[in-house]
Structure 1
Amino acid sequence: METCNPDVNLLSISTAMTSDSLIEALTATFKSPPPQYGIYPIMHSLCRFVEPDSVHKRSVSHLVGQEEPRHTLTLLEQEVLRLQRRGFGGVVTNVGWGNDYLKNWQPIQQVIAELKKKGFVVYLYDEKGYPSGSAGGSVLEKYPHFEAIGMMAYRYPGLLRGPADYRADLPDGQLYKALLLPAVEDHENSPVELKGLVDVTHCADRYGTLRFTIPPGRWVFVVLFKRRLYDATHCMLSYSEPRRYINLL
């Protein structure tokens, strides 16, 4: 993040000023506020104005005042001048999203240098697809253990009654435990007892199916499994592209 010193600091306006001079000073400040008090547009594509050879220039006499001499500016200089003439005091921008993403830093360095030269406040962020934090997938590519994965539990509906053979498909994820818990009462939402539980985890096959014989009695069937915690969230339904997501905890 870059900051700049304001030409007029609101806090430095003396309380000893007369009411007329104070109003005049505040009015002047509001008419032409320091950059950090201005509007900061989000500009996703400033890097595209950096020409490969960095020397291409175009005539832009229409961008400067009539009294000023004719200028030739790069495409980047033209764009920054347009932003400045529109009254923006800063810019929120990002690294270019091309095939050289996070490999070629020269374009964004040129962008920042040009913005700072014109007195802009610059906020630099990384995204390449919302929500932020994945850096286009490169974070989890290097640190796969940062993925948002957690333990989940699924309670199968109803009570299982034995003795009987039973088959169940497992939820998507990595099975941790499959347990039969003694039901205290004879209804679907019955509380359970931990004493006397039966572990049937070993009955799962490689296709994610459980087959076992229910012991005599009534049971609540629960499986514990590890899986991604961001399915059906904006990470997977993003308009940019689906992506694995990091654990922010």
Structure 2
Amino acid sequence: MIDILKFMGPEGLFISFLVVLVAIVQLFRVIISKQSNPSPLTQSNPLVKKYDDVNLDKYTNFFRMLGLSIGLTIVLAAFEYPTPANVLMTLTDTNLYIDEELDSAVVLPKPKLPQPKKVPVVKIIEVTEDKDVTKDIEIDIPEFIDPDEVIEEYIPDDEPDDEVIENEVHIIVEKTAAFKGGMGKFYRWLGKKLKYPSHAKRLGVEGKVFVEFVIEKDGSLSNLKVVRGIGAGCDEEAIRILKMCPKWSPGEQRGRPVRQKMVLPISFRLQN
């Protein structure tokens, strides 16, 4: 009986209680109606007396009792209804299935931990106390030094030769090389000797030609070359006129004449 109550639950018990209560109430109503007198309207109705088949309340009590009996039978049958076996089998099968899944669980291997590196063992050497050294060191010291003795001056072998210093080409020196009489005299001489190329005149070429050269120690010009030109024969004319140039005053370094490099612009302009 306890298993049936658990199976029905509180809602099934409440519905069963209502059905039983209604059945009891209806039973009492039937009993009371049987004991009471028949209705005066029914007795005084001539149709009911003459035609008994027209009475609609004739079988009411019968069907009411039949309904109550069927309801009670269904309620009692529900209480006595056994627990289904297939439900238990389903639960049992489910438990078995879960057990199989647990048995077939994948076991992960343990991760390999990196082995610690071996630290080299440092040997500690005990240092004993130093012993006093009593051994004497003999040093030969001359007994007499003549103050009148002449000591020769030491001249290092790696001193640069004067020839190497003099042949070096300088850009900046203590005294810069210049044309004798000044640069104004140089440009006046240049204006007299310079010839404007005919090809440059026809093309109307004008501009500045930059010539690089070296002023030697004797004042002559060497290593002439055009650094930036304008073409049309002007570059060649600039080189030609500088080769004819008189000697300059050379540059000086520490009071000695040295070679000096210089870049000079020569202008070419047409007169209107």
Which bracket does the TM-score occupy, shorter chain normalised? under 0.3
Q: 1 or 2, which has the higher helix percentage?
A: 2
**TM-score computed with the length of structure 1 as normaliser:** 0.17
Q: 1 or 2, which has the higher strand percentage?
A: 1
Work out which of the two has the higher radius of gyration on C-alpha atoms and give 1 or 2: 2
